[in-house]
Structure 1
Amino acid sequence: MTETETRGGWLSREELRDARERLPIVYVEAVPVRVDDRGVVTQIGLLLRASAEGTVDRELVSGRVLYHERIRDALLRHIESDLGPLAMPRIPVSPQPFTIAEYFPTPGVTPFHDPRQHAVALAFVVPVLGDCSPQQDALDLAWLTPDEAAALAAVGDMSGGHGVLLRQALAHVGHPV
Protein backbone atom coordinates (compact mmCIF):
# COMPACT_ATOMS: atom_id res chain seq x y z
CA MET A 1 0.00 0.00 0.00
CA THR A 2 1.39 3.41 -0.94
CA GLU A 3 1.25 6.49 1.26
CA THR A 4 -0.90 9.46 0.32
CA GLU A 5 1.04 12.55 -0.73
CA THR A 6 0.50 15.27 1.89
CA ARG A 7 3.17 17.88 1.09
CA GLY A 8 2.33 21.57 0.80
CA GLY A 9 -0.48 22.94 -1.34
CA TRP A 10 1.66 25.01 -3.68
CA LEU A 11 2.51 23.81 -7.16
CA SER A 12 5.52 24.95 -9.12
CA ARG A 13 4.77 27.06 -12.21
CA GLU A 14 5.32 24.02 -14.40
CA GLU A 15 3.11 21.75 -12.26
CA LEU A 16 0.33 24.37 -12.23
CA ARG A 17 0.55 24.81 -16.02
CA ASP A 18 0.34 21.04 -16.49
CA ALA A 19 -2.58 20.72 -14.06
CA ARG A 20 -4.48 23.56 -15.77
CA GLU A 21 -4.19 21.69 -19.08
CA ARG A 22 -5.65 18.50 -17.60
CA LEU A 23 -8.28 19.24 -14.97
CA PRO A 24 -10.54 21.94 -13.55
CA ILE A 25 -9.07 24.09 -10.79
CA VAL A 26 -11.23 25.09 -7.79
CA TYR A 27 -11.44 28.80 -6.94
CA VAL A 28 -13.29 31.01 -4.48
CA GLU A 29 -14.59 34.45 -5.39
CA ALA A 30 -15.77 36.99 -2.87
CA VAL A 31 -17.88 40.10 -3.25
CA PRO A 32 -16.84 42.19 -0.23
CA VAL A 33 -19.69 44.28 1.13
CA ARG A 34 -20.44 46.76 3.91
CA VAL A 35 -23.82 46.36 5.58
CA ASP A 36 -25.91 48.58 7.84
CA ASP A 37 -27.37 47.59 11.25
CA ARG A 38 -30.27 45.78 9.53
CA GLY A 39 -27.95 43.72 7.31
CA VAL A 40 -28.75 45.70 4.14
CA VAL A 41 -25.82 46.03 1.75
CA THR A 42 -24.74 49.68 1.55
CA GLN A 43 -21.41 49.36 -0.29
CA ILE A 44 -19.62 46.88 -2.52
CA GLY A 45 -15.84 46.71 -2.72
CA LEU A 46 -14.21 46.26 -6.12
CA LEU A 47 -10.51 45.96 -6.85
CA LEU A 48 -8.75 47.70 -9.72
CA ARG A 49 -6.10 45.53 -11.38
CA ALA A 50 -3.89 45.69 -14.44
CA SER A 51 -4.12 42.56 -16.59
CA ALA A 52 -1.35 40.77 -18.46
CA GLU A 53 -2.95 42.12 -21.66
CA GLY A 54 -2.40 45.71 -20.49
CA THR A 55 -6.00 46.56 -19.59
CA VAL A 56 -7.10 47.93 -16.23
CA ASP A 57 -10.32 46.40 -14.92
CA ARG A 58 -12.48 46.22 -11.80
CA GLU A 59 -12.45 42.74 -10.27
CA LEU A 60 -13.72 40.74 -7.35
CA VAL A 61 -11.56 39.09 -4.71
CA SER A 62 -10.57 35.76 -6.22
CA GLY A 63 -8.09 32.92 -5.92
CA ARG A 64 -7.39 29.20 -5.91
CA VAL A 65 -8.29 26.76 -3.18
CA LEU A 66 -5.15 24.95 -2.09
CA TYR A 67 -4.79 21.23 -1.56
CA HIS A 68 -6.14 20.30 1.87
CA GLU A 69 -7.58 23.80 2.45
CA ARG A 70 -11.14 24.37 3.62
CA ILE A 71 -13.29 26.73 1.53
CA ARG A 72 -13.70 29.02 4.55
CA ASP A 73 -9.92 29.22 4.98
CA ALA A 74 -9.41 29.95 1.28
CA LEU A 75 -11.92 32.82 1.50
CA LEU A 76 -10.18 34.27 4.54
CA ARG A 77 -6.74 33.94 2.91
CA HIS A 78 -7.77 35.64 -0.33
CA ILE A 79 -9.69 38.43 1.39
CA GLU A 80 -6.68 39.18 3.60
CA SER A 81 -4.37 38.92 0.59
CA ASP A 82 -6.43 41.39 -1.48
CA LEU A 83 -7.99 43.67 1.17
CA GLY A 84 -5.38 43.58 3.93
CA PRO A 85 -5.05 41.96 7.35
CA LEU A 86 -7.47 44.42 8.99
CA ALA A 87 -10.46 43.70 6.71
CA MET A 88 -12.23 41.62 9.38
CA PRO A 89 -14.42 39.47 7.08
CA ARG A 90 -17.54 37.87 8.59
CA ILE A 91 -17.72 34.43 7.04
CA PRO A 92 -20.40 32.11 8.45
CA VAL A 93 -19.38 28.87 10.15
CA SER A 94 -20.83 26.99 7.19
CA PRO A 95 -20.45 29.26 4.14
CA GLN A 96 -22.81 28.74 1.20
CA PRO A 97 -22.01 30.19 -2.24
CA PHE A 98 -24.65 32.32 -3.96
CA THR A 99 -23.60 30.73 -7.26
CA ILE A 100 -21.01 28.54 -8.92
CA ALA A 101 -19.20 29.98 -11.93
CA GLU A 102 -17.65 27.71 -14.54
CA TYR A 103 -14.75 29.34 -16.36
CA PHE A 104 -13.62 27.86 -19.66
CA PRO A 105 -10.57 28.63 -21.81
CA THR A 106 -12.89 28.69 -24.83
CA PRO A 107 -14.90 31.94 -24.97
CA GLY A 108 -18.69 31.64 -25.19
CA VAL A 109 -19.22 28.31 -23.41
CA THR A 110 -20.44 30.24 -20.35
CA PRO A 111 -20.33 33.97 -19.54
CA PHE A 112 -17.09 33.22 -17.64
CA HIS A 113 -13.79 33.04 -19.49
CA ASP A 114 -10.24 32.34 -18.35
CA PRO A 115 -7.82 31.72 -21.22
CA ARG A 116 -5.46 29.78 -18.90
CA GLN A 117 -7.75 27.05 -17.69
CA HIS A 118 -11.04 25.36 -16.94
CA ALA A 119 -11.95 26.54 -13.43
CA VAL A 120 -14.88 26.11 -11.08
CA ALA A 121 -15.42 29.05 -8.74
CA LEU A 122 -17.62 29.14 -5.67
CA ALA A 123 -18.86 32.72 -5.27
CA PHE A 124 -19.72 34.32 -1.92
CA VAL A 125 -20.99 37.67 -0.63
CA VAL A 126 -18.81 38.49 2.39
CA PRO A 127 -19.44 41.36 4.81
CA VAL A 128 -16.24 43.07 5.96
CA LEU A 129 -16.14 45.28 9.04
CA GLY A 130 -12.55 46.50 9.24
CA ASP A 131 -10.19 48.80 7.39
CA CYS A 132 -9.51 47.63 3.85
CA SER A 133 -6.76 48.69 1.50
CA PRO A 134 -5.62 47.22 -1.81
CA GLN A 135 -2.83 44.67 -1.44
CA GLN A 136 -0.61 42.58 -3.70
CA ASP A 137 -1.14 43.51 -7.37
CA ALA A 138 -4.34 45.52 -6.78
CA LEU A 139 -3.98 49.17 -7.77
CA ASP A 140 -7.05 50.45 -5.95
CA LEU A 141 -10.08 49.45 -3.92
CA ALA A 142 -13.31 51.35 -4.56
CA TRP A 143 -16.42 51.16 -2.39
CA LEU A 144 -19.50 51.63 -4.58
CA THR A 145 -23.16 51.88 -3.72
CA PRO A 146 -25.25 48.97 -5.01
CA ASP A 147 -26.65 51.27 -7.74
CA GLU A 148 -23.13 52.29 -8.83
CA ALA A 149 -22.00 48.65 -8.81
CA ALA A 150 -25.04 47.61 -10.87
CA ALA A 151 -24.28 50.33 -13.42
CA LEU A 152 -20.63 49.22 -13.66
CA ALA A 153 -21.62 45.56 -14.05
CA ALA A 154 -24.14 46.45 -16.77
CA VAL A 155 -21.59 48.17 -19.03
CA GLY A 156 -19.29 45.16 -19.10
CA ASP A 157 -16.11 46.83 -17.82
CA MET A 158 -15.24 43.82 -15.68
CA SER A 159 -13.03 41.09 -17.10
CA GLY A 160 -13.67 37.37 -17.41
CA GLY A 161 -17.33 37.49 -16.40
CA HIS A 162 -16.92 39.28 -13.06
CA GLY A 163 -19.69 41.67 -14.13
CA VAL A 164 -22.07 38.71 -14.42
CA LEU A 165 -21.06 37.53 -10.94
CA LEU A 166 -21.55 41.04 -9.56
CA ARG A 167 -25.07 41.22 -11.02
CA GLN A 168 -25.85 37.79 -9.54
CA ALA A 169 -24.50 38.92 -6.14
CA LEU A 170 -26.64 42.06 -6.25
CA ALA A 171 -29.73 39.99 -7.05
CA HIS A 172 -28.81 37.58 -4.24
CA VAL A 173 -28.76 40.38 -1.65
CA GLY A 174 -32.08 41.76 -2.91
CA HIS A 175 -30.89 44.66 -5.05
CA PRO A 176 -32.68 45.03 -8.40
CA VAL A 177 -30.37 44.77 -11.40
Structure 2
Amino acid sequence: MADLASSDHGPWLPPDRLELIRASVPLVYVEAIPVRTDDDGTITHVGLLLGAPRSERIERAIVSGRVMYLEPLREALKRNIEKDLGPLALPRIPYSPVPFTVRQYVPHTLDSSDPSLSYDPRQHAVALVYVVPIAGDVQIEGDCLGFDWFDIDDVRSPALADELASGHGEILAQLAATCR
Protein backbone atom coordinates (compact mmCIF):
# COMPACT_ATOMS: atom_id res chain seq x y z
CA MET A 1 0.00 0.00 0.00
CA ALA A 2 2.90 2.36 0.65
CA ASP A 3 3.93 2.46 -3.01
CA LEU A 4 0.41 3.64 -3.92
CA ALA A 5 1.03 6.93 -2.10
CA SER A 6 4.64 7.43 -3.22
CA SER A 7 5.14 8.81 -6.71
CA ASP A 8 6.50 11.70 -8.72
CA HIS A 9 3.30 13.55 -7.76
CA GLY A 10 4.46 14.14 -4.17
CA PRO A 11 1.78 13.23 -1.65
CA TRP A 12 -0.90 13.11 -4.38
CA LEU A 13 -1.92 10.09 -6.38
CA PRO A 14 -1.19 10.08 -10.11
CA PRO A 15 -4.32 10.92 -12.15
CA ASP A 16 -4.82 7.36 -13.44
CA ARG A 17 -4.68 5.85 -9.92
CA LEU A 18 -6.95 8.56 -8.53
CA GLU A 19 -9.51 7.81 -11.26
CA LEU A 20 -9.40 4.09 -10.41
CA ILE A 21 -9.81 4.77 -6.69
CA ARG A 22 -12.63 7.26 -7.26
CA ALA A 23 -14.45 4.56 -9.24
CA SER A 24 -13.94 2.00 -6.48
CA VAL A 25 -14.31 3.55 -3.01
CA PRO A 26 -15.52 6.77 -1.40
CA LEU A 27 -12.87 9.39 -0.70
CA VAL A 28 -12.70 11.38 2.53
CA TYR A 29 -12.84 15.17 2.34
CA VAL A 30 -12.86 17.99 4.86
CA GLU A 31 -14.94 21.07 4.20
CA ALA A 32 -14.55 24.29 6.15
CA ILE A 33 -17.13 27.02 6.49
CA PRO A 34 -15.05 30.17 7.10
CA VAL A 35 -16.81 32.44 9.59
CA ARG A 36 -16.29 35.73 11.40
CA THR A 37 -17.55 36.00 14.94
CA ASP A 38 -18.27 38.83 17.34
CA ASP A 39 -16.65 39.14 20.79
CA ASP A 40 -19.18 36.67 22.23
CA GLY A 41 -18.38 34.02 19.62
CA THR A 42 -21.65 34.52 17.70
CA ILE A 43 -21.26 33.95 13.97
CA THR A 44 -21.81 37.21 12.10
CA HIS A 45 -20.47 36.45 8.60
CA VAL A 46 -19.81 33.45 6.38
CA GLY A 47 -17.02 33.45 3.81
CA LEU A 48 -17.52 31.92 0.36
CA LEU A 49 -15.07 31.24 -2.45
CA LEU A 50 -15.87 32.11 -6.05
CA GLY A 51 -14.70 29.62 -8.65
CA ALA A 52 -15.61 26.50 -10.63
CA PRO A 53 -14.93 23.65 -8.18
CA ARG A 54 -17.30 20.93 -9.40
CA SER A 55 -18.95 22.11 -12.57
CA GLU A 56 -18.42 24.19 -15.66
CA ARG A 57 -20.24 27.17 -14.19
CA ILE A 58 -18.88 29.84 -11.88
CA GLU A 59 -20.24 29.21 -8.40
CA ARG A 60 -19.67 29.99 -4.76
CA ALA A 61 -18.38 27.32 -2.41
CA ILE A 62 -16.99 26.63 1.02
CA VAL A 63 -13.40 25.46 1.40
CA SER A 64 -13.08 21.79 0.44
CA GLY A 65 -10.31 19.29 -0.10
CA ARG A 66 -9.22 15.70 0.28
CA VAL A 67 -7.65 14.20 3.35
CA MET A 68 -4.27 12.75 2.41
CA TYR A 69 -3.12 9.29 3.47
CA LEU A 70 -2.23 9.27 7.22
CA GLU A 71 -3.02 13.00 7.54
CA PRO A 72 -4.73 14.08 10.79
CA LEU A 73 -8.08 15.83 10.21
CA ARG A 74 -6.92 19.06 11.86
CA GLU A 75 -3.90 19.15 9.53
CA ALA A 76 -6.11 18.50 6.51
CA LEU A 77 -8.35 21.41 7.53
CA LYS A 78 -5.39 23.73 8.03
CA ARG A 79 -3.77 22.73 4.72
CA ASN A 80 -6.97 23.14 2.67
CA ILE A 81 -7.85 26.48 4.29
CA GLU A 82 -4.35 27.82 3.66
CA LYS A 83 -4.47 26.51 0.07
CA ASP A 84 -7.63 28.53 -0.66
CA LEU A 85 -7.52 31.47 1.77
CA GLY A 86 -3.78 32.07 2.04
CA PRO A 87 -1.29 31.85 4.90
CA LEU A 88 -2.53 35.00 6.64
CA ALA A 89 -6.12 33.77 7.15
CA LEU A 90 -5.20 32.53 10.65
CA PRO A 91 -7.92 29.90 11.01
CA ARG A 92 -8.91 28.77 14.50
CA ILE A 93 -8.99 25.04 13.77
CA PRO A 94 -11.38 23.21 16.14
CA TYR A 95 -9.56 20.99 18.62
CA SER A 96 -12.22 18.29 18.42
CA PRO A 97 -12.38 16.09 15.31
CA VAL A 98 -16.20 16.03 15.59
CA PRO A 99 -17.62 17.83 12.53
CA PHE A 100 -20.52 20.28 12.40
CA THR A 101 -22.19 17.97 9.88
CA VAL A 102 -21.40 15.20 7.40
CA ARG A 103 -22.22 15.30 3.69
CA GLN A 104 -22.10 12.61 1.01
CA TYR A 105 -21.44 13.39 -2.63
CA VAL A 106 -22.52 10.78 -5.18
CA PRO A 107 -22.00 10.56 -8.96
CA HIS A 108 -25.54 9.47 -9.87
CA THR A 109 -29.15 10.54 -9.58
CA LEU A 110 -29.91 11.69 -6.07
CA ASP A 111 -32.37 10.11 -3.69
CA SER A 112 -34.37 13.28 -3.00
CA SER A 113 -35.62 11.85 0.29
CA ASP A 114 -32.08 11.95 1.74
CA PRO A 115 -31.07 15.56 2.42
CA SER A 116 -27.46 14.58 3.21
CA LEU A 117 -26.73 13.54 -0.40
CA SER A 118 -25.32 15.90 -3.01
CA TYR A 119 -24.24 15.42 -6.62
CA ASP A 120 -20.58 15.22 -7.66
CA PRO A 121 -20.10 13.70 -11.13
CA ARG A 122 -16.48 12.74 -10.34
CA GLN A 123 -16.88 10.42 -7.38
CA HIS A 124 -18.50 9.12 -4.25
CA ALA A 125 -17.06 11.16 -1.39
CA VAL A 126 -17.79 11.68 2.28
CA ALA A 127 -17.12 15.19 3.60
CA LEU A 128 -16.66 16.10 7.24
CA VAL A 129 -17.83 19.72 7.51
CA TYR A 130 -16.35 22.07 10.11
CA VAL A 131 -17.15 25.66 11.10
CA VAL A 132 -13.83 27.50 11.30
CA PRO A 133 -13.46 31.07 12.60
CA ILE A 134 -10.99 33.10 10.54
CA ALA A 135 -9.01 35.65 12.57
CA GLY A 136 -6.73 37.05 9.85
CA ASP A 137 -6.84 38.42 6.34
CA VAL A 138 -7.97 36.31 3.40
CA GLN A 139 -5.76 36.37 0.32
CA ILE A 140 -7.18 33.92 -2.17
CA GLU A 141 -4.78 31.37 -3.56
CA GLY A 142 -4.82 28.70 -6.24
CA ASP A 143 -7.72 28.42 -8.65
CA CYS A 144 -10.08 30.71 -6.75
CA LEU A 145 -11.46 33.73 -8.59
CA GLY A 146 -12.61 35.58 -5.49
CA PHE A 147 -13.78 35.48 -1.90
CA ASP A 148 -16.56 37.41 -0.18
CA TRP A 149 -17.97 37.67 3.34
CA PHE A 150 -21.76 37.41 3.64
CA ASP A 151 -23.81 38.50 6.63
CA ILE A 152 -25.25 35.43 8.33
CA ASP A 153 -28.77 36.71 7.57
CA ASP A 154 -27.95 36.83 3.84
CA VAL A 155 -26.95 33.15 3.85
CA ARG A 156 -30.68 32.31 3.72
CA SER A 157 -31.14 34.27 0.47
CA PRO A 158 -32.54 32.26 -2.48
CA ALA A 159 -30.34 34.30 -4.84
CA LEU A 160 -27.21 33.24 -2.98
CA ALA A 161 -28.43 29.62 -2.81
CA ASP A 162 -28.59 29.58 -6.64
CA GLU A 163 -24.90 30.52 -6.81
CA LEU A 164 -23.70 27.73 -4.49
CA ALA A 165 -21.97 24.48 -5.39
CA SER A 166 -23.97 21.28 -4.98
CA GLY A 167 -24.74 20.61 -1.34
CA HIS A 168 -23.29 23.83 0.00
CA GLY A 169 -26.67 25.57 0.11
CA GLU A 170 -27.99 22.88 2.44
CA ILE A 171 -24.89 23.11 4.63
CA LEU A 172 -25.22 26.90 4.94
CA ALA A 173 -28.96 26.67 5.65
CA GLN A 174 -28.17 24.22 8.43
CA LEU A 175 -25.56 26.63 9.84
CA ALA A 176 -27.90 29.64 9.60
CA ALA A 177 -30.61 27.71 11.45
CA THR A 178 -28.25 27.22 14.39
CA CYS A 179 -27.21 30.87 14.52
CA ARG A 180 -30.42 32.77 15.20
Give the TM-score of the pair, scaled to structure 2: 0.88
1:117 paired residue number: 123
Shift of 1:148: 1.3
State the distance in 2 between where 1:19 and 1:65 align.
Answer: 14
* Distance in 2 (alpha carbons) for counterparts of 1:107 and 1:27: 21
RMSD: 1.8
Q: Which amino acid aligns with 1:65?
A: V
Alpha-carbon distance in 1 for matches of 2:53, 2:125 = 18
Instruction: Give secondary structure in 1 for the equivalent of 2:2.
Output: coil
The 5-angstrom pairing of residues 93-172 of structure 1 reads 93-109=95-111, 110=114, 111-152=117-158, 155-172=161-178
Q: Which runs of 5+ in 2 are unaligned?
A: none
Over 4 Å off, 4+ runs:
none
Q: TM-score, normalised by structure 1?
A: 0.89
Residue of structure 2 in register with 1:73 after alignment: 75
> Which consecutive residues of structure 1, in runs of 5 or more, have no partner in the other structure?
none
Q: Return the alpha-carbon distance in structure 2 between the equivalents of residues 52 and 164 of structure 1.
A: 16
CA contact (8 A) 2:30 2:77 kept: yes
Distance 2:85 2:61 in 1: 12
- Assess if the C-alpha contact under 8 Å between 1:25 and 1:120 holds in 2: yes
